[in-house]
Chains A and B, each alone.
Chain A
């Protein structure tokens, strides 16, 4: 049983109170966060106050008393919200995001805001002025990004679950690096209202937790149409928790995209563990079918044009006028804006804004942005076609396990290629969940992902849960 579900049971059985549970996680944070830097801010008083109130009022909601970490891209009313950037230092969210409102309604407690790559731009949680997040398995390695803090806090038992965002793999990659289940929902399944925008046609909020059932509990709370976000769709919310309990691999048709299993496409240990998993899926009664997604080979190229173009537009609002930091000295209005942005944004953010600006600029729009969107439309069509033949797609998450801190910082293209197996899922709008399938010889976790058709999160979580029952992994409590 995952720690979230176990804690829920213990709280309902009054084996401990909400206050006691919260105190124990706050103590863990005090001990471990200085080494891991998963939390940027801990809401000690507010969390304890809330826990007291929950104890007084008694059980209510599916996440009553459950302590969660929230990525520093997601608004909680009255709390600071920085997007892990200097440019938003001091900004206080005037409203909660729909997702945090819904979690609060279900009784959850927010322990703090978790560290991430600045504006969610990164694959290693190294692009932040507030310090790198260390991997709980090996503190010299990254926790993955951009939602590194959200992954590390759960893995190190500084929360039993957390929320992250995934624009090109930013939930699934850190989940793989930290040995967790991490789900990116279908685009339009979860509201983005109150979530700081990176790339508006790609961003999705999703959960991190120990296992599929724990993820399902969080997703059940946050999923659904939202009047505040016109990109959410009024598709009924499935019973994700029930799907985990009923999930079976027998009879599932699972596609293996040949473009994702090319020679030298991943480390030998990941290749071996992935093959072992494929063999297990077959043994459990799934039918494995080779499929082809030809345009996914352009995934990184498309992503780093579309996402950066959208980011260039979204981040143009940070100008020092209405909120956030403002440069101290400036000669004119334009100078105020230029200096604020130049001082406030980090290197990776500047790089992506510039790439996006170029992709949208006159004379280059068709060659870059329009072409990228065109290839993207073909990619989506290929996924939708594949799902006429298969129930799910199985694929690796990352070509490597967690890499050393600093290893890829001088070569942005090498860093971008970390996302090679994740970006196409976002580009096509499909849901995907990363789950642990083993460890390498250094003890670092290896993850794989199930990708589903639109709004098939129940099927994905059910399959992950069935896999977990077939191949239980020993989970260490790390610090």
Chain B
């Protein structure tokens, strides 16, 4: 398992690719230096020991879990939708509303869709 200050694996280009970003040569250089410092700083977390089981359980950690017991609240209550309120129905956008912000639309009037470059090779 990598340690928090083992940043030899950190390749600016590789991470940019994963993040769907394209960087200039100058940005690659500047970011490279900055990330070295930042990752060195966060390396202090190596001072805290964590078992593999504890690592696995962190996927389920949520900060409000402790609050439910503290505030004597049933988590199920907060998930229940207030059926008497009509507000929830208004949450879903109609196609027309959703397409209002679209950068580009295409298709038949009344059945407009988002227009994007083709991803199927002919």
Chain A residues close to B by CB (< 8 Å)? 90-92, 94-95, 186-188, 201, 225, 227-228, 230-235, 295, 298, 300-302, 304-305, 312, 316, 319-326, 330, 332-339, 341-342, 345, 347, 350-351, 353-355, 357-358, 361, 363-364, 366-378, 380-381, 384, 412-413, 416, 427-429, 453-455
**How many residues in B have their beta carbons less than 8 Å from beta carbons of A?**
68
- The reply to whether B78 and A295 contact each other, CB–CB distance below 8 Å, is no
- The reply to whether A357 and B116 contact each other, CB–CB distance below 8 Å, is no
Known interface pairs A345-B21, A380-B66; 12 further A-B residue pairs with C-beta atoms within 8 A, sorted by A's residue number = A94-B93, A188-B64, A230-B79, A233-B78, A300-B41, A312-B19, A333-B117, A338-B20, A374-B48, A377-B61, A378-B48, A453-B70
- The reply to whether B38 and A228 contact each other, CB–CB distance below 8 Å, is no
- Cβ < 8 Å to A, chain B residues 38-72: 38, 41-42, 44-45, 47-48, 50, 52, 54-56, 58-59, 61-64, 66-68, 70-71
Most buried by B among A319, A336, A412: A412
- The reply to whether A374 and B114 contact each other, CB–CB distance below 8 Å, is no
Supply 30 A–B pairs (Cβ within 8 Å), ascending by A: A187-B63, A225-B78, A228-B88, A230-B79, A233-B64, A233-B68, A233-B73, A234-B77, A301-B4, A316-B20, A319-B20, A323-B101, A323-B102, A330-B117, A333-B117, A334-B20, A337-B20, A341-B19, A350-B31, A354-B16, A366-B52, A367-B6, A370-B50, A372-B42, A374-B54, A374-B61, A381-B66, A413-B37, A427-B63, A429-B63
B107 within 8 A of A: no
Number of inter-chain CB pairs below 8 Å: 194
Selected from B42, B81, B119, the residue in CB contact (under 8 A) with A305 is B42
Q: Which residue in chain A gives the minimum CB-CB distance to B48?
A: A375
- The reply to whether A364 and B61 contact each other, CB–CB distance below 8 Å, is no
- The reply to whether A324 and B73 contact each other, CB–CB distance below 8 Å, is no
Selected from B16, B54, B67, B81, the residue in CB contact (under 8 A) with A188 is B67
- Contact pattern, B 68-91, Cβ under 8 Å of A = 1, otherwise 0: 101101000111011001011011
> CA–CA, A298 to B46, complex, Å?
10
B98 within 8 A of A: yes
Residues on B with C-beta less than 8 A from A412 are: 34, 38
Residues on A with C-beta less than 8 A from B106 are: none
> CA–CA, A454 to B73, complex, Å?
13
Residues on B with C-beta less than 8 A from A351 are: 31, 34
Most buried by B among A186, A304, A366, A455: A366
- The reply to whether B103 and A325 contact each other, CB–CB distance below 8 Å, is yes
- The reply to whether B62 and A455 contact each other, CB–CB distance below 8 Å, is no
Residues on B with C-beta less than 8 A from A355 are: 35, 38
Residues on B with C-beta less than 8 A from A377 are: 58, 61
CB distance from B78 to the nearest CB of A (A): 5
Q: Which residue in chain A gives the minimum CB-CB distance to B103?
A: A326
Residues on A with C-beta less than 8 A from B70 are: 384, 453-454
